[in-house]
Chain A
């Protein structure tokens, strides 16, 4: 049955070809045009006319059944990418866009699962689906360059997929692709899932550092998203990326700072001796690092002083700008690298010294303490307040990012699956066209038979 439907149109053409060949041969066999005209005029008396009408009607009904079935086994859909980078052939995150992802294994597997499709596998779907850009550019001239943001997906049934409705299958595949695309390129909210369980084992100053990092991570992430769309505002809470970011930095600069000041001023620690020892060892290693950075900086400065006179200060390279205007570009040379490295190592040394000074201050404060080791109630209260505030901010940020991603996701692409209802006009036209073709051909055949009969009668009469 599958092949009968697949080749139905071919069979129809063949069914028209043989009668027209037979009839045509008989008509053309009579060389005299006037006799053909006379026989054609007498054709209305042809006795099998009604039977012929019935046959044509049956063919019409057959076409009504078979042509929609034939068309149902072919379907098409269109995906239009709507984000800005699509016109450069890129994904939303800047990586290269690949149209073949539409028919990727993961997408097709998801489509099968989504539609609870039975009796088909990923490979079956790969065989019957194809994808291509709707508008194809060319490389022969710059004017012909074109990166398509619209892609067509085409379905052509095979015996394994004949039981599936093309329209439904394409809906499933395109939606599965959209889901995959959104998951792949929507914002990652892992940074907003906070976990404070590990802090219980840490000493108070380490907790301060951890909480500060958490607050700053939220603040930084929100600032990054603010760069994408600063005006975006939550419809439910009214928050913006900027407002959450500033709240997060306030937590780091005010609440965590207050906790740290309290811990240092009151010299609080869960286990002083161990903590002090750790800081001292840290300082030994930091001292090595600082000396290494100082030496590296010194080396670079020495190199500059040694070779400054022999090395070119400026190198100009002739080049063109984007408007094809000639200019001399100043390029980076070896001496610039030496200077930059020297500066970087010097900064690094200063930062390490600053950390060492802080560690020494902490060691000094803790060494002269009188408080007993263990849990401090006020510090614990401050920590729980900061954790609660960070949790609240993380939740608000998560909702805002989800809302943002949700809106973006809906705008990433537009999917259009062409339904059979949309193709109905062409299907109806096809039904009538094939019926008409058959009717014309069968009439030519009958006219041939009629001419043949009459010729025999005449031959018999004479």
Chain B
């Protein structure tokens, strides 16, 4: 009996050491971000433009009040900053976190904020899925792509506006960056609600202005890959899948909320016809599962 207890204690000790080392490693690796550089070439920009893409922060901190993140972005000298949603969490929401980060980013470069499903939950009370939007047909009225009548909480949107951040939700803005005209649009619908709740806007966005460089911020990569693959959108930036949360070498990401197991779009740059899509692994996480072999990622895109 004594021998068995002693053996069990050894096993627990070994498992304890393994678990402790694993936990320390996960903690360490999830609080330092990596930088991934992409370069895309387009005749539509006069001088090189640098964009920094942040996604899926989920209220995660890099240094006190995100000081490390903000100062590094400042060092990288972006001309525009793109946010592909999920900066905050739908539960234990800290709007001040988003406002503090965005106001400091806006001092570095113009910030364009595409909403994610977590922001949608905070602003509209639900993610913009088909069932929810169909149930709100009457409130939406004629224009099914204008979600303003559904807003329940204006705090985030007002705060972002005051911080000088441009929120793009089913709309686009034309910006002049270093002498080049760039149109930046955003959607946050998913594959099921893309039609008819974002499709018309995206169709017009694609058709307009051949000579202008177009960037679409789509929190989820799947709607863009499904509906506008190959269309003349110069750049689509996305996040949402957190790089598949756990990454298996040679296999890629393991899981995403929308894509199930081994989702197709977890990270990297893909070219589909005239459309280039960059999916960021994101900087944070939400839920029980920690990021494993999947360091947070800051994406830097040089458009030459």
Interfacial residues, chain A to chain B (CB-CB below 8 A): 50, 53-54, 57-58, 61, 64-65, 114-116, 118, 165, 168, 171-172, 175, 178-179, 182, 235-236, 399, 402-403, 405-406, 409-410, 421-422, 424-425, 428
Contact = CB atoms under 8 A, between A and B. Distances in A.
Contact of A61 (B21, B34, B37, B76): B21
6 contacts: A54-B13, A61-B21, A165-B34, A175-B39, A235-B232, A421-B249
Given A54-B13, A168-B34, A402-B43, A421 B211 contact: no
A54 B41 contact: no
A425 B211 contact: no
Given A236-B211, A421-B250, A406 B43 contact: yes
Interface string B265-276: 000000000100
B258 interface: no
Contacts of B36: 168, 171
Contact of B41 (A114, A172, A406): A406
Contacts of B75: 116, 118
Given A118-B75, A236-B211, A425-B250, A403 B43 contact: yes
Given A53-B14, A61-B17, A421-B247, A178 B211 contact: no
B41 A182 contact: yes
A424 B17 contact: no
B68 interface: no
Interface residues of B, number: 29
Given A57-B17, A399-B211, A178 B35 contact: no
A171 B37 contact: yes
A216 B43 CA distance: 25
Nearest to B6: A50
B231 interface: no
Contacts of B79: none
Given A61-B21, A421-B247, A409 B39 contact: no
Given A61-B18, A402-B43, 20 more contacts: A53-B14, A54-B13, A54-B14, A57-B14, A64-B21, A65-B25, A114-B37, A115-B35, A116-B75, A171-B37, A175-B37, A175-B39, A399-B211, A405-B43, A409-B41, A421-B247, A422-B249, A424-B249, A425-B249, A425-B250
Interface string B32-56: 0011110101110000000000000
B302 A175 contact: yes
Tell me if B's interface is mostly helix, strand, loop or mixed.
Answer: mixed
Nearest to A179: B304
B210 interface: yes
A114 B302 contact: yes
Contacts of A406: 41-43
Given A61-B17, A114-B302, A118-B75, A168 B35 contact: yes
B171 to A, nearest CB: 24
A406 B72 CA distance: 31
B247 A179 contact: no
B266 to A, nearest CB: 12
Nearest to A405: B43
Tell me if A's interface is mostly helix, strand, loop or mixed.
Answer: helix
Nearest to B75: A116
Contacts of A421: 247, 249-250, 293
B77 interface: yes
A402 to B, nearest CB: 3
A168 B37 contact: yes
Nearest to A175: B39
A329 to B, nearest CB: 48
A421 B253 CA distance: 11
Nearest to A428: B249
A108 B227 CA distance: 41
Contacts of B42: 406
Interface in B232-263: 232, 247, 249-250
Contacts of B43: 399, 402-403, 405-406
Nearest to B40: A410
B41 A115 contact: no
A208 B37 CA distance: 51
A162 to B, nearest CB: 15
Nearest to A174: B39
A73 B232 CA distance: 40
A69 to B, nearest CB: 12
A138 to B, nearest CB: 36
Nearest to A410: B41
A236 B212 CA distance: 11
A226 B204 CA distance: 34
Contacts of B132: none
Top-9 shortest CB links A-B = A424-B249, A402-B43, A236-B210, A116-B75, A406-B43, A175-B39, A116-B76, A421-B249, A403-B43
A157 B18 CA distance: 30
B23 interface: no
B12 interface: no
A393 to B, nearest CB: 16
B77 A116 contact: yes
Contacts of A399: 43, 211
Most buried by B among A61, A178, A409, A425: A61
A405 to B, nearest CB: 7
